[in-house]
Structure 1
Amino acid sequence: MALRGTNQEFGGPYNRRIVLEAIRLHGPTTRRDIARRVGLTVQTVSTIVRELEEGGYVLSARAEPKKRGLPPATLSINPGGGYAVGIHVTPIGIDAALVDLSGEVVASGRREAPNPTPDHAFEQIGNLVSELAGMKAGQRILGIGLALPGPFGVEKMSFIGPTTMAGWNDVALAERLSDSTGLPAFLETDMAAAALGERLYGLGAGFSDYYYLYFGVGLGGVMVHDGIVLRGAWGNAGEIGHIPLVAGGEPCPCGNRGCLERYLSLEAYGRSGRSEADWVKEVTPAFHAAITIIENLFDPETVILGGLAPESLLERLAEAAQRLPNSVSARGDRTAPRITVAHGGPHAVLRGAAALAVSGVLSPRFGRMFATGRERDNDVLRGKGMAA
């Protein structure tokens, strides 16, 4: 993954996040090694590290000298230097986790809340956050990240249908989240949050170019290149579930017919009433088509299959993919399988949402970890809600 600092005038907070990220990924590490990795001077890195040490975010240690001179101090993340809360709201319930700076889930909770109204959801989120924060009384809670099914801001697609939070139109999400919890609030689609969690703490750390296929109530996915998710002009790239795959097929709430997630998603699995084995056999052709489309469009090193689905279901899908059709990814020199299964489960979304909050607090102008190359000066970055 390419972590690069910036010498631009506004780059201070951004560089702080990048340096912290480099320490988390490569620690224990030295100032010189960080400078080499992120493209900043040793002096700049030293200044940032001093700030992070004073803030309690990183720990410094020095080995006993074995010969003349002192060995360089090594830096590592201080797991207890701060915590963030990750929240995931879906049409089937509300999940929450308290995550430390190393990415470990130290506590979690859930509320069964099928298709909750915004008022009910934010009340439950407030209660969950109070319970989780109480387990680390007196500790620093940096912020809260909320992951929701997308897309956002798209007429006749956002907050419509059984795979989204239907009826949540025109809700000031970040404002409501901050009011309910008293914490700085940040927002992301659940598939992008899951990809972030996978990149930081899972299989994604081992690849430069991979596609994360998010198997949730609906179906989505994001391409990750050098640690950056390709988000599109309005941040909604990845809605693969709304690719019309079957001509004249089932009507979709988005207004089209035959969309992929009508056949391949947890919602579709639930409607089928079939066993895992029978359902996978039925949807294998659609799954093969989805993987082939992804590979031919993005040419990834691998497709990481994750999300909310039980790992047993994901494993069955991956096994069915051993007989994939031909694509640009059907190479003889592959070092990774075309399909790999993530093992983070629902925690991938929660870890990613929490990491979003840490990033947003440490680097306010880059509050969304996933952005295109340019800064997104929009309601999300200003901490306001996303309205459909």
Structure 2
Amino acid sequence: MQAALGRKARIPAIFRRRGDPLTVSENERRVLEIVRRSGVTSRADLTRATNLAPQSISRLIEALMKRGLVEFGEKRIRGRGHPGLAVRLTRSAVYAVGLSIRTEGADLAVVAFDGQVLAERTLSPSSMAVTDVIAEAQAQLDDVFTVLDLDRRRLFGFGLAMSGFFTVEAGRMNPPDPLAHWSVTDLEQTFMQAMDLPVWLENDGNASAIGESLCGVGLTHPSFAYLYFTYGLGGGVVLDGSLVRGAFGNAGEFSAMLSPETHARRPTLESLRRLICEHGVEVVSIADLQARFDPDWPGVSVWLDRVKEPLSDILSAISGVIDPSAIVFGGQIPRPLAERLIAGVQFHNRARRGETRPTPALLVSAVRGNAAAIGAASMPLKYAFFQ
């Protein structure tokens, strides 16, 4: 099942009224993607990277500039010849908002066109009912745009991320038990009507993988697997810069690799929280675990030993089936815990004639802040403007 809007974004009415719809051609996408990855580049660099004629690059840049998507910066000197004008994304061209629905709450992020995270907010709705979360998200979004003095008319799209898997019904997800009441709602339509914006819906693992692709490890590793550690264990797969969603939108459900016997020992932060509490340290939530984590807490070493084997099985399966250059440890996992997990696991990789298969680098997420909310905010930009 593809998200209702897929890669063809519905353009907000404000842009249609201006007679300046923010739709981009495939060649414009190529140019925007190169500029995004480079930060700043030149027309000469774009010509070399795309194999398009210099005249074609000039026309593409001119068209993108007329729509306010790129701008010229300072001149750049590359080797011999005259310096060229630097081309960069226009930060204020459009903004996108992302909302991450967790089992314990919700988080909001606002991202600019160039990927800069402008704001992050932890929401405090009166309840986790859909209507209460929407009301709190609207209030926080209004406040962000007021405080930062941003042009609300340039708010382009809304990304929604939630734990769970997609069902066969469009716009619906089956979340963990604490969010069971969200499963009966067509989330895309509900949020589209409430926010008056095009909406992209993904599970939190896929959303975080998109954010990592745009702002983190994906800048140096176009093909990677993303492990999303939270109440459960999910993730996402990015190959050559594109998210792999699968037939039903549920690719990256790495816990499904485990047998029923091993599944109980999967590395979830909820299982760690409970084990720490059993050892006498009160940790009231996963957010509390993330904020106060101490590697020396009693129970942490026990948990690491317990999950080492099933996590090694998952990593080995990812390496053998997907063959990415990196596997990213992300989600809500504290960095010191991720580093200890990485140090303790191993790939099942038999040598042949003294050689083993190349295996992915194991890396901690390079995205700072709330991975799912930032990833959700990145989705409208990724699907509407970049490759």
TM-score range, shorter chain: 0.7 to 0.9
Cα 1:41/1:180, change in 2 over 3 Å: farther
What's the counterpart of residue 189 of structure 1? 203
What's the counterpart of residue 220 of structure 2? 206
Cα 1:99/1:281, change in 2 over 3 Å: same
Q: Distance in 1 between matches of 2:332 and 2:76?
A: 47
How far off is 1:66 after superposition? 12
What's the counterpart of residue 330 of structure 2? 306
Q: Is the contact between residue 99 and residue 105 of structure 1 (CA under 8 Å) also seen in structure 2?
A: yes
Is it true that 1:159 corresponds to 2:174 in the alignment? yes
Task: Give CA-to-partner distance per residue, 1:203-259, whole Å, 9 cap, x none.
Answer: 22212332211212221222322112222122211111233424xx3xxxxxxxx53
Match of residue 377, structure 2, among 354, 364, 387: 354
Secondary structure class of the residue paired with 2:227: strand
What's the counterpart of residue 46 of structure 2? 34
How far off is 1:21 after superposition? 2.0
Task: Give CA-to-partner distance per residue, 1:100-134, whole Å, 9 cap, x none.
Answer: 22222121111246982212222222122112222
Task: Give CA-to-partner distance per residue, 1:157-210, whole Å, 9 cap, x none.
Answer: 942433x73222342222322333333322222111111111111122212332
Is it true that 1:131 corresponds to 2:143 in the alignment? yes
Letter in 2 for 1:286: P
| TM-score computed with the length of structure 2 as normaliser | 0.76
Q: Percent identity?
A: 29
What's the counterpart of residue 243 of structure 1? 257
Unpaired runs of 5+ in structure 1?
1-10, 250-257, 364-368, 370-388
Secondary structure class of the residue paired with 2:182: coil
Matches within 5 A, 1:88-99: 88-99=100-111
Q: Is the contact between residue 215 and residue 265 of structure 1 (CA under 8 Å) also seen in structure 2?
A: yes
Secondary structure class of the residue paired with 2:128: coil
Cα 1:40/1:193, change in 2 over 3 Å: farther
How far off is 1:71 after superposition? 3.7
Matches within 5 A, 1:327-366: 338-362=361-385
What's the counterpart of residue 293 of structure 2? none
What's the counterpart of residue 14 of structure 2? none
Secondary structure class of the residue paired with 2:84: coil
Match of residue 66, structure 2, among 54, 57, 64: 54
Cα 1:291/1:359, change in 2 over 3 Å: closer
What's the counterpart of residue 183 of structure 2? 169
Is it true that 1:276 corresponds to 2:300 in the alignment? yes
What's the counterpart of residue 5 of structure 1? none
Q: Distance in 1 between matches of 2:30 and 2:350?
A: 36
Cα 1:314/1:113, change in 2 over 3 Å: farther
How far off is 1:60 after superposition? 1.0
Matches within 5 A, 1:11-22: 12-22=24-34
RMSD: 3.3
Task: Give CA-to-partner distance per residue, 1:25-59, whole Å, 9 cap, x none.
Answer: 12421234324434544444333322322232222
Q: Distance in 1 between matches of 2:37 and 2:110?
A: 20
Q: Is the contact between residue 92 and residue 112 of structure 1 (CA under 8 Å) also seen in structure 2?
A: no
What's the counterpart of residue 230 of structure 1? 244
Unpaired runs of 5+ in structure 2?
1-22, 280-298
| TM-score computed with the length of structure 1 as normaliser | 0.76
Matches within 5 A, 1:98-117: 98-112=110-124, 116-117=128-129
Secondary structure class of the residue paired with 2:40: coil
What's the counterpart of residue 266 of structure 1? 269
Q: Is the contact between residue 311 and residue 343 of structure 1 (CA under 8 Å) also seen in structure 2?
A: no
Is it true that 1:293 corresponds to 2:307 in the alignment? no
Secondary structure class of the residue paired with 2:174: coil
Match of residue 320, structure 1, among 320, 344, 364: 344
Q: Is the contact between residue 159 and residue 199 of structure 2 (CA under 8 Å) also seen in structure 1?
A: yes
Q: Is the contact between residue 212 and residue 366 of structure 2 (CA under 8 Å) also seen in structure 1?
A: no
How far off is 1:317 after superposition? 0.8
Cα 1:29/1:152, change in 2 over 3 Å: same
Q: Distance in 1 between matches of 2:37 and 2:229?
A: 26
Q: Distance in 1 between matches of 2:77 and 2:242?
A: 39
